[in-house]
Structure 1
Amino acid sequence: MLQVQRLVQRPRSFESLCGLNPTEFTLLAEQLEPLWARAHRTSLLRDGRVRRIGAGRRFKLDVPHRLLLTLMYLRHYLPMHLLGVLFEIDTANVCRNVHALMPLLEQALPAPLRPRTLDSRQVTPDDAAPRRRLRTLDDVLKAFPEIADIIIDGTEQPRGQPKRKKGDTPGKKAVGRPKDQKKYFSVKKGTHTLKTQVAVTPDGLVVHLSAPAGGRTHDMKVLKQSRLLGRLPLGSRIWGDRGYTGLDKLCPEHEVITPHMRPRGGTLSEEHRDLNHHISKVRITVENVVCKIKKFRICREFYRNELRHHGSFWGCVAGLVNLRMLGRAPQFA
């Protein structure tokens, strides 16, 4: 069985294994201890439980080993039966341990604001959206009032074809296929994908993640439904790529900066090319952050989990990226 005490003696190997150095791992495990104890106590006191508190078998994994198991799953996206062999537990126990720790891990990390679903309403900058919980965009803006720029970009992750649910009837145009198959097919990637919008500061701090959308969904539509525009302070600058052309009409209270598009059959002027070059120098930050997120293979490779867990995985990985960016020390609220 993998032992944390032995692995931390090899810092470089330990960092490659789970994405954190031993110091960061130890501090994070200490923050998770009371959260896990409180969550476990709440589970023992739930309605309908028959056994008295203290009865039953003891957990084989303590919090540090449970954290190591979860970080290895996020970092390398190993099959759960292989993780079961490494930690000498059953595959079902691996699944239970990972999904039980994920919400607590996101709570302990400096994770970005992450709405659970996309908002189908027409969202405007002065729309009063409900606020959740330095882990939310509101907290970041209060702690760092000098933030005046938000850089946004969308990224995609491959997934399988959506399966038909029980009771659904096939559509007339696609016999045997679910009606929402086209919703997830990305023409750009040539496969079915999940799209997530990432918003970062110029310093590389992830402050907002959208709920997952189908790969067919346009970047502008994801932005409208992500509840981000209603939370930005007035006068802030929004940096986007060509997919956000026309955003200035949607939110006139903000300064929107997007690259100039080459006219059909024409060429860009020298001035516009220079401006696009300067915009790219600013927007490279979000590209680098997305690269850091996708070093965790659970955010890059073929997604094989349930769709309802996708946002939680991305929230935890973004929190780990923020953790390393913020002075390599946990920034807990």
Structure 2
Amino acid sequence: MLRVERLRQRPRSFESFCGLSPSEFQELATQLEPLWERAHRRSLLREGRQRRIGAGRQFKLDVPHRLLMTLVYLRHYLPMHLLGVLFEMDTANVCRNIHALLPLLEQALPAPLRARTLNIQKKAAEGAKPVRRLRTLEDVLEAFPDLADLIVDGTEQPRGQPKGKKGDGAGKKAVGRPKDKKKFYSAKKGTHTLKTQLTVTPEGQIVHLSATAPGRLHDIKLLRQSRLLPRLPRGSRLWGDRGYTGLEKLCPQHEVIVPRKRPKGGCLSLEDRELNRQISKVRIAVENALCRVKKFRVCREFYRNDPQRHGLFWGCVTGLVNLRLASRAPQLT
């Protein structure tokens, strides 16, 4: 069985396993301990529980080992039965432990503001209230009062083909592809994908994460539905790639900077090429942030989990990336 104490004796192996150094891991485990105790106590005192407190089997793993198992899963995206072999647990027990810890892990981490749902007009007309996190972008702006530049970019992760609803057999519905197959198909990637949009500061900190969107959704439409634009301070600058061409019409109160497109049948002038190079030097921050995020294979490889948990996985991973960035940044005195 993998032991935290044994892995700490080999710091490089420790970081290779879970993506954090031993000191960063210890700090995160210390912050996670009271959150787990509070959540477990709430579960014991829930309405309808028949057993008394203290009855039943005890947990095999404590919080540090449960955190280690979850980080190994996020880092390497191993199958549950393989994690069960490494930690000497049943596959179902591994799954329960990981999914129970993920929401608490996101709370303990410096995770970015994450929109739970997209701001779709149909749902707004029905009066559906959006669910928001307690941590807001205003808190980020208070910590960074000089924040004037934000870089946005979208990325896609492959997923399986959506299946039809249960009971939609040949007798009830004509045989064919479900409507969601066209909805999630990305012509750019040539497969079915889930799209996520990140908002990053020039220093590399991830401050906003959109809700999970189908791969077919355009970048500008995703930005409009991600609830980011109303939260931005007036006069701030938005940097994007060529997929955000025309964004200045959507948000005239912000300065939008995107690379110039080559005209059809023509070529860019020397001034436009130099401008694109200067824009790329700023936009490299979001590309580096995406590279750090996708070192965790749960955000890079074929997605095997419930699509409703996709945003939670990305929230935890981006929080880990922010934690590593903050702990390893040079401290100015």
TM-score (norm 2): 0.93
* Secondary structure at 1:327 match in 2: helix
Unaligned runs of 5+ in 1: 124-128
Equivalent-residue separation in structure 2 for 1:47 and 1:23 (angstroms): 39
Unaligned runs of 5+ in 2: 125-129
Match of 1:238 in 2: 238
Q: 1:168 to 1:256 in 2, by over 3 A?
A: farther
Equivalent-residue separation in structure 1 for 2:246 and 2:231 (angstroms): 20
Match of 1:259 in 2: 259
Alignment length (residue pairs): 323
Structure 2 counterparts to residues 167-316 of structure 1, below 5 A:
167-168=167-168, 175-316=175-316
Question: CA offsets per residue over residues 287-314 of structure 1, 9 Å max, x none?
Answer: 0000000000000000000001100000
Question: CA offsets per residue over residues 211-254 of structure 1, 9 Å max, x none?
Answer: 11111111011101100101110000000000000100000000
Question: CA offsets per residue over residues 62-89 of structure 1, 9 Å max, x none?
Answer: 0000000000000000000000000000
Structure 2 counterparts to residues 44-193 of structure 1, below 5 A:
44-121=44-121, 132-133=133-134, 136-168=136-168, 175-193=175-193
**Cα deviation, residue 265, structure 1:** 0.7
Equivalent-residue separation in structure 2 for 1:11 and 1:188 (angstroms): 40
Give the aligned residue type for 1:223.
L
Equivalent-residue separation in structure 2 for 1:69 and 1:197 (angstroms): 27
Asked if the contact 1:24/1:328 (under 8 Å) is kept, the reply is no
Asked if the contact 1:201/1:207 (under 8 Å) is kept, the reply is yes
Equivalent-residue separation in structure 2 for 1:27 and 1:49 (angstroms): 34
Equivalent-residue separation in structure 2 for 1:328 and 1:37 (angstroms): 29
**Cα deviation, residue 327, structure 1:** 2.8
Structure 2 counterparts to residues 31-46 of structure 1, below 5 A:
31-46=31-46
**Cα deviation, residue 165, structure 1:** 1.3
Equivalent-residue separation in structure 1 for 2:245 and 2:175 (angstroms): 37
Equivalent-residue separation in structure 1 for 2:53 and 2:80 (angstroms): 30
Equivalent-residue separation in structure 2 for 1:143 and 1:247 (angstroms): 27
* Secondary structure at 1:287 match in 2: helix
Match of 1:126 in 2: none
**Cα deviation, residue 131, structure 1:** 5.5
The RMSD of aligned alpha carbons is 1.9
**Cα deviation, residue 130, structure 1:** 7.5
Q: 1:213 to 1:101 in 2, by over 3 A?
A: same
Equivalent-residue separation in structure 1 for 2:183 and 2:277 (angstroms): 34
* Secondary structure at 1:153 match in 2: strand
**Cα deviation, residue 143, structure 1:** 1.1
Asked if the contact 2:114/2:211 (under 8 Å) is kept, the reply is yes
**Cα deviation, residue 328, structure 1:** 3.7
Asked if the contact 1:136/1:207 (under 8 Å) is kept, the reply is no
Equivalent-residue separation in structure 1 for 2:23 and 2:146 (angstroms): 30
Match of 2:25 in 1: 25
**Cα deviation, residue 180, structure 1:** 1.6
Asked if the contact 1:111/1:136 (under 8 Å) is kept, the reply is no
Equivalent-residue separation in structure 2 for 1:287 and 1:138 (angstroms): 24
- Give the fraction of aligned pairs with identical amino acids, expressed as a percent: 74
Give the aligned residue type for 1:176.
G
Give the aligned residue type for 2:133.
R
Q: 1:108 to 1:219 in 2, by over 3 A?
A: same
Match of 2:127 in 1: none
Give the aligned residue type for 1:222.
L
Give the aligned residue type for 1:113.
L
* Secondary structure at 1:326 match in 2: helix
Equivalent-residue separation in structure 2 for 1:149 and 1:15 (angstroms): 32
Equivalent-residue separation in structure 2 for 1:192 and 1:113 (angstroms): 26
* Secondary structure at 1:199 match in 2: strand
**Cα deviation, residue 166, structure 1:** 1.6
Q: 1:229 to 1:130 in 2, by over 3 A?
A: farther
Give the aligned residue type for 2:201.
T
Question: CA offsets per residue over residues 246-272 of structure 1, 9 Å max, x none?
Answer: 100000000000001111111111111
Asked if the contact 1:2/1:86 (under 8 Å) is kept, the reply is yes
